[in-house]
Amino acid sequence: MKKHAISISFVIIFIALIAVLFYNQSQIRQVPSVYTFDIETEDFYIKDIEFVVMPHSLYVTKQYLEVIGEDKIFDGISYGLSIGENRIVSLSQADDPFHLPDTANSKIYFNTNNLFKNMQVSKSDTIKVEIHYKVNGESKDIVGEIKLSDVVKPFTLTGDKTPIRLS
């Protein structure tokens, strides 16, 4: 009886180890999802917003602002992107970001490389966008949502992506 119980225990442990091995291999082989999009307001673009989702983590890359039109004077720009309760991008620039010393050709680059661990993201989630700025003395507040399923980057990207218009 004792030998029989020990044999059953070894079989159960062996099956559990095989199950753990297969689970770990399936996690390693999961392909990351890449999401990329641009946001357009009346006055500027937020371009090349991109993030990579792996199981249990999310990595946000850099993006840049580009002014639309001429003769615009900004007095601060701030924007944030959230997925669920998690803020993945939060930027604020006082004064006119398009007239700073590190601005080139009416574009300013922001290095927002951030890694968020223990974060679950699926293609059915949405990104909440909040943009606040002042241009030519007028304050503007923009809030919108973007479906992740609409901005999944394909393995081959042909042509230009169309900016998502928020107003």
Rounded to an integer, what distance in angstroms lies between the CA atom of residue 14 and that of residue 33?
Answer: 34
Using a cut of 0.85, tell me whether the model's pTM lies above it: no
Q: Kindly state the average pLDDT of the residues 150-163.
A: 67
Same-domain pairing of 20 and 102:
no
Average pLDDT, the chain: 85
Same-domain pairing of 67 and 103:
yes
| CA dihedral sign of residues 42, 48, 52, 57 | negative
Same-domain pairing of 12 and 26:
yes
pLDDT digits (tens, 9 = 90+) for 62-121: 899 999 988 899 999 999 999 999 999 999 888 898 888 877 777 888 877 888 898 989
More reliable by pLDDT, 9 or 65: 65
pLDDT digits (tens, 9 = 90+) for 136-145: 999 999 999 9
pLDDT at residue 160 greater than cutoff 70: no
Same-domain pairing of 101 and 159:
yes
More reliable by pLDDT, 26 or 54: 54
Same-domain pairing of 98 and 161:
yes
Same-domain pairing of 64 and 4:
no
Supply the DSSP string of 81-109, one letter for each residue: EEETTEEEEEEEE-S-GGGSTT-BTTEEE
Could you tell me the residue range of the domain that residue 100 belongs to? 33-165
152: which DSSP letter? B
Same-domain pairing of 56 and 77:
yes
Q: Kindly state the average pLDDT of the residues 46-71.
A: 90
More reliable by pLDDT, 146 or 106: 146
Same-domain pairing of 50 and 80:
yes
Give the residue among 116, 126, 120, 128 at the shortest CA–CA distance from 151.
126
> 93-128 burial by CB neighbour count: b if 16+ within 10 A, else e?
beebbbeeeebeebebeeebeeebeeeebeeebebb
Same-domain pairing of 95 and 126:
yes
Task: Please answer whether residues 92 and 130 qualify as being in contact, where contact means their C-beta atoms are separated by less than 8 angstroms.
Answer: no
Same-domain pairing of 43 and 12:
no
33-40/164-165 β-pairing = parallel
Same-domain pairing of 25 and 45:
no
More reliable by pLDDT, 106 or 123: 123
* Count of domains observed in the chain: 2
Same-domain pairing of 58 and 9:
no
pLDDT at residue 122 greater than cutoff 80: yes
Q: Domain containing 122 — which CATH number?
A: 2.60.40
